[in-house]
């Protein structure tokens, strides 16, 4: 529900005694048999089981179709040398767009469009059986025929997205394969709504970022963000992130979650005068936090160079976006230099014009990937480094950095210089290792390699999960504070074992808007002075260096408090003459026989005023009542 990073609970049950990940850049780990022209490689790791799923496309008798493989944490293939092929559908001879995601219940979902335009989702359990049948489920009621996208929800289901070049179609598929209503996103002004990206927010809600554009190869384009619940209900107002720009329609945006319920968007295009990578951000309410509607460029305007081919990750501590990108010369585009930069959610470019990490001269490079350590404190950059100015030959290399951009280590993952088709993504760090994959273009075969946070390959010692304890005994009520003469909700809780960095109090007002209050770690109470009338929902978490806890539970097991805020009567300030109930700040009731023997402190008192009005007050007691 509320994790900034998924906790690895039973990460490595059943891991083989002898790891299959190799510690040899000459002989990398075999994943599956493929053809030499295979591609569209996707990877996704289940953080709780440690399994990594790999999907790739290649030609079969049913067209350009996907195959999947499951690896355990040790890198051992679990579904044979051939993997599991999706063979129940007919596919086109070229890609209609595929996607894949490991699900929270240990399986994997493949999502794709087939030759006749329909979009399907197929779920495979860890044991290789088809959870929804070999054909899977048809999505969007038959609408949408291109560019499928999918991300895992927090309950074993998935969010799926498709489009038909004019409209977008969004749907939640439950863990059992049942379908929630389809949401159609279209522009009332007649622009095309196309190419969306999904990021998961709190409470299994999703943010959809998408592009509105006109017609033609060169066209005006804007980027918007909208949020939806699993039943298709919007939970925030549509927000424009990028103002209208005119450039080639083929330059598309990317989106990644920020770990705080919102996300970052980045895109490279030439509309501002020169090719550059531009960054945008939206918070947990879908509100843009970067003032410039054109976004923040990774580099100042530079007519001599282009900045392209970006890939990004988010640091789990600062929640800044980290980007790697290529600088090439604008004249011949034959130069390859790799830079990285760090940008905050408000658009501050922390590393100025970026940090150079590789100068490959006029020899090509590519396959750029960047992944933050799951425990924070640094990140890894992975890339394919070309070894020939005219051929596809390359090595695969990695560098590690701390959060100041200082180099920690350099590792060559693959020293064989054959041509490679790289993956669309890396897994990111889970249990202390990250995984990259590629196809050998010379003789086929899908290969991969793991990399640890210290630059090690081969057997990696699993990183134990960090504790992420929630506060306890969450309680609260509407009170009058006789010290300040104000009204509001007074909430209390018991601190968890191990002090957090701070608490997050989520306050949802009757209009549906949610605000977040950051509370110091030594506090166990909060007074929300409020003029709001109606029922306000309060939820509380503890934030640690590497995670955010589940919501604190009340004594009756609820994960929220619903406190009715009313207009206070004029005589509420009047003193209580008849005490009915007394509570400590932690919600413990004081026995009536003890009321006259209270120690000095603050208490919640319920009682009657002179005219018989029942009131609740927060009172400071010097000695007894």
DSSP lists the bridge partners of residue 255 as: 265
548 phi, psi to nearest 5 deg: -120, 135
Residue 592 has pLDDT above 70, yes or no: no
Write the DSSP assignment of 558-586 as a string of letters. Answer: -S-EEEEE-PPPGGGGSPPSEEEEEE-TT
Is residue 420 within 8 A of residue 394, CB to CB? The reply is yes
339 DSSP 8-state letter: E
Which residues on adjacent β-strands are paired with residue 437? Answer: 448
* 515-525 residue pLDDT tens: 889 999 999 99
Secondary-structure class of domain 32-186 per CATH: mainly beta
Residue 242: its H or E element: strand 239-248
Return the minimum-mean-pLDDT range out of 129-133, 153-157, 228-232, 475-479: 475-479
SS (H, E, C) 294-310: CCEECCCCCCCEEEEEE
Map residue 207 onto helix, strand or coil.
strand
- DSSP secondary structure letter of residue 232: S
Of residues 472 and 144, more confidence is placed in: 472
Find, among 311, 280, 438, 308, the residue nearest to 381 by Cα.
Answer: 311
CATH no. for 472-621: 2.60.40.10
Asked if the model's pLDDT at residue 301 lies above 60, the reply is yes
Confidence of residue 597 (pLDDT cuts 50, 70, 90): low
Q: Whose CA is closest to 432, among 450, 415, 418, 414?
A: 450
Confidence of residue 492 (pLDDT cuts 50, 70, 90): very high
- If you average pLDDT over residues 599-605, what whole number do you get? 73
Confidence of residue 14 (pLDDT cuts 50, 70, 90): very low
CA-to-CA separations, 578 to 570, 598, 616, in angstroms, rounded: 18, 16, 12
CB count in 10 Å sphere of residue 148? 25
Q: Where are the domains of the chain?
A: 32-186, 472-621
**Whether residue 624 has pLDDT greater than 60:** no
- pLDDT score of 619 more than 90: no
Instruction: Tell me the backbone φ, ψ of residue 140, rounded to 5 degrees.
Output: 60, 20
Q: What predicted TM-score, i.e. pTM, was given to this entire model?
A: 0.78
Residue 367 is given by DSSP the state E
**Who has greater pLDDT, 438 or 97?**
438
- Detail the DSSP E strand segments found in 103-217: 108-113, 119-124, 137-138, 146-152, 158-163, 168-173, 183-185, 192-200, 206-213
What's the alpha-carbon Rg for the chain, to the nearest Å? 27
CA-to-CA distance for 477 and 489, rounded, in angstroms?
6
3-state SS track over 51-108: CEEEEEEEEECCEEEEEEEEECCCCCECCCCCCEECCCCCCCCCCCCEEEEECCCCCE
- For 384: left if phi > 0, alpha if psi spans -120 to 50, otherwise beta; the answer is beta
The answer to whether residues 54 and 41 touch, using CB atoms and an 8 Å cutoff, is yes
Spatial distance between the Cα atoms of 566 and 576, rounded to a whole number of angstroms: 19
Alpha carbons 298 and 266: distance in angstroms, whole number: 10
Confidence class of residue 571 from pLDDT cuts 50, 70 and 90? very low
């Amino acid at each position: 529900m509320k994790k900034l990073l998924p906790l690895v609970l039973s990460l490595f049950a059943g891991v083989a005694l002898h790891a299959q990940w190799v510690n040899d850049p000459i002989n990398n780990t075999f994943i599956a048999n493929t053809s030499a022209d295979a591609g569209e490689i996707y990877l996704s790791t289940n953080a709780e089981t440690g399994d990594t799923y790999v999907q790739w496309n290649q030609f079969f008798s049913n067209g350009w179709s996907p195959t999947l493989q499951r690896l355990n944490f040790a890198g051992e293939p679990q579904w044979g040398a051939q993997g599991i092929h999706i063979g129940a559908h007919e596919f086109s001879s070229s890609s209609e767009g595929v996607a894949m995601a490991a699900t929270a219940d240990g399986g994997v979902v493949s999502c794709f469009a087939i030759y006749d335009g329909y979009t399907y989702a197929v779920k495979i359990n860890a044991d290789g059986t088809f959870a929804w049948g070999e054909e899977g489920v048809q999505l969007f009621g038959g609408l949408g025929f291109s560019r499928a996208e999918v991300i895992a929800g927090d309950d074993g289901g998935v969010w799926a997205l498709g489009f038909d070049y004019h409209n977008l179609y969004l749907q939640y598929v439950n863990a059992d394969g049942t379908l929630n209503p389809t949401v159609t996103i279209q522009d009332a002004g007649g622009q095309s709504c196309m190419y969306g990206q999904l990021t998961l927010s709190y409470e299994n809600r999703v943010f959809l970022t998408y592009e509105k554009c006109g017609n033609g190869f060169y066209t005006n384009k804007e980027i918007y963000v909208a949020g939806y619940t699993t039943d298709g209900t919007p939970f925030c107002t549509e927000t424009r992130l990028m103002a209208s720009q005119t450039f080639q329609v083929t330059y598309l945006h990317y989106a990644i979650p920020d770990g705080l319920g919102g996300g970052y968007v980045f895109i490279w295009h030439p509309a501002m005068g020169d090719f550059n990578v531009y960054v945008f951000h939206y918070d947990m309410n879908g509100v843009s936090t970067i003032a410039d509607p054109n976004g923040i460029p990774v580099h100042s305007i530079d007519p001599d160079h282009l900045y392209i081919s970006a890939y990004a990750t988010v640091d789990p501590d600062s929640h800044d976006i980290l980007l790697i990108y290529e600088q090439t010369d604008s004249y011949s585009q034959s130069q390859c230099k790799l830079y990285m930069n760090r940008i905050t959610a408000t658009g501050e470019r922390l590393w100025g014009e970026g940090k150079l990490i590789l100068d490959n001269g006029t020899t090509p490079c590519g396959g750029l990937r960047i992944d933050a350590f799951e425990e924070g404190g640094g990140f890894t950059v992975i890339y394919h480094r070309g070894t020939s100015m005219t051929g596809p030959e390359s090595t695969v290399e990695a560098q590690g950095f701390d959060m100041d951009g200082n180099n920690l280590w350099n590792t060559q993952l693959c020293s064989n210089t054959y041509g490679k088709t790289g993956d669309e993504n890396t897994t990111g760090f889970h249990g202390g290792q990250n995984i990259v994959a590629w196809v050998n273009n010379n003789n086929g075969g899908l290969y991969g390699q793991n990399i640890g946070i210290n630059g090690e390959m081969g057997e990696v010692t699993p990183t134990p999960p960090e504790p992420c304890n929630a506060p306890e005994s969450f309680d609260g009520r509407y009170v009058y504070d006789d010290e300040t003469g104000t009204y509001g909700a007074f909430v209390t809780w018991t601190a968890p074992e191990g002090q957090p960095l701070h608490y997050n109090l989520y306050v949802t007002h009757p209009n549906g808007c949610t605000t977040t209050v950051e509370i110091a770690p030594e506090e166990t109470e909060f007074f929300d002075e409020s003029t709001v009338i109606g029922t306000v929902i309060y939820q509380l978490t503890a934030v640690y260096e590497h995670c955010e806890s589940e919501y604190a539970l009340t004594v009756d097991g609820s994960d929220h408090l619903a406190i009715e805020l009313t207009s206070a009567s004029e005589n509420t300030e009047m003193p209580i003459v008849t005490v009915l109930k007394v509570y400590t700040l932690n919600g413990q009731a004081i026995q009536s026989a003890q009321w006259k023997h209270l120690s000095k402190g603050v208490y919640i008192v319920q009682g009657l005023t002179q005219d018989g009005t029942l009131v609740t007050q927060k009172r400071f007691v010097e000695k007894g009542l």
